[in-house]
Amino acid sequence: MKVIKYNLFITLFLFICIHVCAQVEQNPLYLKNYAPSPEAYSMMQYEEIPVSLYTGIPDISVPLYNIRSNDWTLPIALSYHASGIKISQEASWVGLGWNLQAGGMISRSIRGKDDLNQFLTDTNPVPDADNIPNNFLSFHAINGNILIPEMNKDVEPDVFFYNFAGYSGKFYSKKGANIKGHGENLFELSDPEAHLLIRLKNSKNNPIFEIIAPGNIKYTFKAIEITKRHALGFFDRSVDLECPHFTSQHYIPDTFDFNPEYTITSWYLTHIQYPTGDEIFFDYHRALNTYLSPMHRSDVTNHVVDVKDLKNPYYPIEDINHFTIENEPKKQSTISFEYIYEQPRLTGIRWTEGELEFVPAEKNREDIRTLPHAETEGAKMLGQINLYTKDRKKKLKSFLFHYSYFLSMDDNGNLQKIPNYNTSRLKLDSISIKGTDSNKTQKYKMGYNDSEPLPIKNCYAYDYWGYYNESNMTIPFVPYVSSSDYRSMSLSIDESTKKYTLARDGKIVMEKGKKINGYGEDKEPSSKALIGTLTSLTTPLEGKTEFKYEGNRVIDSTQIEWKIQDSLSIDIYALKEYDNTSLTTTFSMPYDGCIDINWVYDGNIDCIEKEKNTTLINIPGITSIVGIPQDTYNSGSPIHGQYHLKQRTACPKGTHTITLKTSDRAKLSVIIKRYKAKLGYYEPLVGGIRIAEIKSPLTTRKYYYTNDKGECSGRLNRKPVFNRMVNRNYFATYSNGIPIANILYIEFNSAAIQPLENPYNSYFMGYEQVNIIQQTKDDKTIIEKNYFHNEKEDHNEFYIDYPGRNMPLNGKLIKRRIYSGDNLLSQNIKKYKAIKVSDIKGLKYYPNDLSHNYHIENYCTQLIEETDTIYTKLSNTFVVHPVKKTYAYNSNYLLSRMIIRENDCIKSHFIRYATDFINPYLDGYFEKYNLITTPIEEDFFTNGILSKKLWHIHYKDSLVKPWKEYIFYNRPGVIIPSFNGNTSIYTGKPDITYNSYNKRGRNTSLHTRMGQSVVLVWGYKHQHIIAQISNATIAEVENKGIDIEALADKEEPTETDWDLLHSLREALPQGRIIITRYEPLIGIISQTGPTGVTVRYTYDEFGRLSETIETGKRENVIQKNEYKYATEK
């Protein structure tokens, strides 16, 4: 009998590669769901789970150095993401949970196919799920007679994550946007208010990203990370017995070396170019074979609930039992590996004045493996960072990193003594800082919750969200709980039309709420999620800061539980002996609450029937227990029964009577525990952790995640889904297209079939209210209450891998209140508006009814109203002082109007930008160079009357430099002109005119409306102003022999140059001259004022200001600084 099977629910593994046979089948799978490297993941976390009170994630960082290039600053720091450590999480090269913020990167999660190869260039629109054109599909045969369709086009946009220079977010590809290959306007930002222009340069084989930030700052991402992924699929009931390498943690398939497919998963920042010509370069070493993940296994197994012979008259089934054995769903397993074939390793950052060198440790990492017999240097950890002046002429500072490994378990759960890639995790212990005097050091010290070991990285001892929970390391599945009543299937056929109808109208084969435990165990979160987290950070300056965490909790309004507030240490005990018929006694309840009644019935084994109608325990008005429940735990012998029962019930304050009674000769003992409590909603733990307390030498801040009613304020926006009920119909070749049988079964998955975190909206949960109580050393208490927008996500659990929808307002602060004790000091209330700016259509394709469309909706979120209120107590009354601000925005999402209402005064501020004028301002230069966030015209009103107008006019060149500043005041008889974007239409006298600039865009001279003039002389490669000359023109300065361009180009002025600058005091007696000397990367070393008095500055070995010395006929130390850092030796 040839049987064709159509599955109404089909898993990822089934449609990738299916083998249905009597023995184990193995086949390579080259999956497109690539994962980034540990380095990229450590940065992506900040977009997946943002640092915020809303998520309970504190901002923990170690500042290392600030790169300064003229007006621009790039911080270099370590940051710690305190969301908890996931079982499979790998450490970055600076330790588990830590991330080195030194530049940045763009990473992506590929959906469907690689967007750079197809989605961007294919102009065919994404089809509807119920109307997919034939040219979108290809077909391949399974077992020679079943054709399985596959999607041959890219119908899903990839998700790109960016994190660099203070910017973080996501963007997506536009369908068919790159048909001309120009690389302009190809992507949609998830947060368009960031005003980033994203460009794709070069070919698809060598793509380079360029992002232009507001202010015409160009970030180039050129260094690429290349990832390969290999997977093997196995499909059989006996797979564990016939695939011995499944039990080997160190198995590597032979085909791995020959996998030709790879993808670019990340682009690293290589260059920053500022509009002034300043540049920062990021140097990388092209490291090969840097990471081979532990073997990850995914399993699917099934539990048959019902098999129904549909009694098809055209094709009867001879033996339903034999049919079930032959056709029941088979077990499926997949093993996979992530392999980083090529990864950029940061070696240096260079800028005009200096250089940072990043040196890997000599010893390779033991917590990461690489592919054997392949070209490799091994996985590295960061050993030290060295700060040099330009061309490494002088080393100023070194940061040395010290590591060990977290405690870990072996495959059997025992303590692992020798580190290896599958058990160990890199731990950052401390950072030593050395200055120019190598004998002195400062130190950062880290402490962790490492009292217990973590399990191996690829075990199953994790909760639904992937965090350690001490469950069984080898059991992959979780129990299934039925969401409804499931009935047996019936078939009816219309003989006239030969059309059939299927209906589940038979007997109930599985009741709602029934739990199937056979294949797994509960994976609820536990306190084990705290293991491995950072618990203390000792800094050189402030001393030790301690962190305490607790598990995330949410409120479940569908369940009620008792909230225990207090309890009595003495229990109530009552005993009715065998010979007594009954016993009555009393007990007192000192407060309203609940009681636990723990009772034991000792009697004959047939007592359940005898006591069926007996009120065994009676507490009038509280509870009455009649008979022994059938499912009560029996710990007695086959002859003598001993039945245990525990019941919790409400109990009011007062004195209560309890009566114990039995019909049979039996002993009845009762223990009553008394609690002060109240009923409330159930507050279960969910994945990850939240900050509970931060204790520093000066203050202690405690965090409470409750609303004003005392209830948990957490909301679960996305539930993990691992299992589902599957309905499969079977068709035979000659069954007239009518099903012959139906199998209803539970599909158990070891991996989530719904993504745990919405890839388009980040975190799966958040808190509506977070309260902070801050206690200072002088016993002052400040209470801060924060209220957040937190709307529950509406997503469809019916579909596999449904991405969900964007929730743009979630996490936005809507109210903050500050108290001193019980007194309200201030309140801030905010209102927002979310504007949908784009909608990208995607298609999740499966060869069955589960194919579905989804939409990625991107929003601009705008603050539209804000009210600040100050509460001041005068005598016995409170004075309330509110200030209300309302905001409006232009078409580019820029603030265009702000109105401030305070007392009886209304102040308005209107702003116009380059794109707001009818005539293109400077012929579109501002749009070209992404300067649209720069104000051009500003109007100020008081109570509806114009009081002041500002114009900001610019030069038309590639730097778009400021030229003229106009200030118009509304005075009697003054006519204020209007501006239409044409810079030449008005010829009035500006308040400030920037007359000249040097070739690097540095302003060299300006004058005011009142005739004051200033000349600025730059030096040190255009980085610092070395002379400021008032009451002189640039021509007068240059006529005295000062070559302004030549001085600016020099790395450092010569003594002759300094003498020439000082001579200007005599040459230009009307001028006021300030001359300043610098030591690059340190600061000002001397400054000579208009009177000729020079002040010198000295610095210690760590670059800190040491002495301020006034020079003249003799030196006078006017200030001396001594530093006593907590960890300095």
Q: Do 646 and 740 reside in the same domain of the chain?
A: no
Query: Taking Cα atoms as reference points, which of 164, 157, 158, 156 lies closest to residue 47?
Result: 164
Determine the number of helices (DSSP H) and then strands (DSSP E) in the chain: 10, 67
Could you tell me if 482 and 510 are in contact, meaning their C-beta atoms sit under 8 angstroms apart?
Answer: yes
User: What pLDDT is stored for residue 871 in this prediction?
Assistant: 93
| Residues 727, 583 share a domain | no
Residues 312 and 385 in one domain: yes
Residue 1129 placed within a domain:
no
If asked whether residues 535 and 596 sit together in one domain, one would say no
pLDDT of residue 183: 58
The contacts of residue 933 (CB under 8 Å, 6+ apart) are: 195, 214, 215, 894, 913
Same domain, yes or no: 634 and 730 = no
For residue range 506-552, what is the model confidence (pLDDT) as tens digits?
889 999 888 887 667 788 899 999 999 999 999 988 789 999 999 99
Residue 334 lies in a domain: yes
**Would you give the distance in Å from CA 1063 to the centre of its chain?**
59
In a domain, 657, yes or no: yes
- Environment class of residue 938 by beta-carbon count within 10 Å: exposed (0-12), middle (13-18) or buried (19+)? middle
Residue 96 falls inside a structural domain: yes
Q: Assess if residue 946 is contained within a domain.
A: no
The residues, ordered by sequence, that sit 6+ positions from 868 with a Cβ below 8 Å of its Cβ are 826, 827, 828, 882, 883, 885
Q: Is residue 925 part of a domain?
A: no
Return the closest-CA partner of residue 794 out of 779, 805, 781, 778.
Answer: 805
Residue-wise pLDDT for 76-134, tens only, equals 999 999 999 999 899 999 999 999 999 899 998 888 888 888 888 888 899 998 888 88
- Domain boundary (663, 682, 701) is at 682
Could you tell me if 631 and 740 lie in one domain? no
Whether 535 and 586 map to the same domain: the answer is no
User: At a CB cut-off of 8 Å and minimum separation 6, what does 362 contact?
Assistant: 383
Q: In terms of domains, do 652 and 730 share one?
A: no
CA distance 561 to 404: 44
Query: Which residues lie below 8 Å from residue 488, measured CB to CB, with a gap of 6+?
Result: 306, 308, 504, 506, 507, 509, 744
What's residue 749's pLDDT?
A: 87
- Give me 1100's structure tokens: 């210690």
Three-state DSSP class for 462? Answer: strand
> What separation in angstroms does the CA of 283 have from each of 82, 266, 280, 344, 1036?
29, 16, 10, 9, 44
Residue 143 confidence (pLDDT): 47
Domain identity same for 215 and 288: yes
Q: How far apart are CA 849 and CA 8, in angstroms?
A: 6
Residue 1035 phi, psi (nearest 5)? -65, -40
- Residue 72 CB-half CA count within 13 A: 24
List, in order, residues 6 or more apart from 544 with CB less than 8 Å away.
Answer: 445, 536, 537, 538, 696, 697, 1126
For residue 491, tell me if it sits in a domain.
Answer: no
CA distance 1012 to 108: 55
Give a three-class secondary structure readout of 633-667: EECCCCCEEEEEEEEEEEECCEEEEEEEECCCCCE
Residue 1096, token pair as written in the block? 């010198």
Q: Which CATH number characterizes residue 593's domain?
A: 2.60.120.1310
| 626, amino acid identity | V
DSSP helix/strand/coil, 538: strand
CA proximity to 175, closest of 122, 116, 111, 108: 122
Which structural domain range is residue 1049 located in? 992-1092
Tally of CB atoms within 10 A around 626: 13
Q: Which helix or strand (DSSP H or E) is residue 1038 part of?
A: helix 1034-1039
DSSP E strand stretches across 903-972? 905-913, 935-942, 945-954, 962-969
What pLDDT, on the 0 to 100 scale, is given for residue 924?
87
Residue 37 falls inside a structural domain: yes
Boundary of a domain, candidates 661, 682, 703: 682
Domain termination site, one of 769, 786, 807: 769
The reply to whether 200 and 344 lie within a common domain is yes
How many domains does the structure of the chain reveal?
Answer: 3
Judge if 640 and 737 occupy the same domain. no
Residue 418 has what pLDDT? 86
Dihedrals phi, psi of 608, to nearest 5 degrees: -60, -45
Nearest to 803 by CA among 837, 751, 843: 843
CA dist., res. 246 & res. 243, Å (int)? 6
* CA pair distance 763, 766, nearest whole angstrom: 7
Q: Which residues pair with 951 in a beta bridge?
A: 937, 966
Q: What is the distance, to the nearest Å, from the Cα of residue 1112 to the centroid of all Cα atoms in its chain?
A: 58
Planar angle of CA 373, 375, 378, nearest 5 degrees: 90
Q: Which DSSP state fits 8? A: S
- Considering the entire predicted model, what is its pTM? 0.87
Q: Residues 299, 367: one domain?
A: yes
Say if residues 827 and 814 touch (Cβ distance below 8 Å).
Answer: no
Buried b vs exposed e over 364-389: b needs ≥16 C-beta within 10 Å? ebbbbbbbeeeeeeebbbbbbbbbbb
User: In 3D, which of 1003, 1006, 998 has the Cα closest to residue 1050?
Assistant: 998
Spans of the chain, pLDDT less than 70: 1-37, 40-48, 140-148, 177-184, 203-204, 234-261, 373-374, 518-519, 605, 631, 633-640, 733-735, 754-763, 794-804, 847-850, 1126-1127
Nearest to 482 by CA among 430, 435, 517: 517
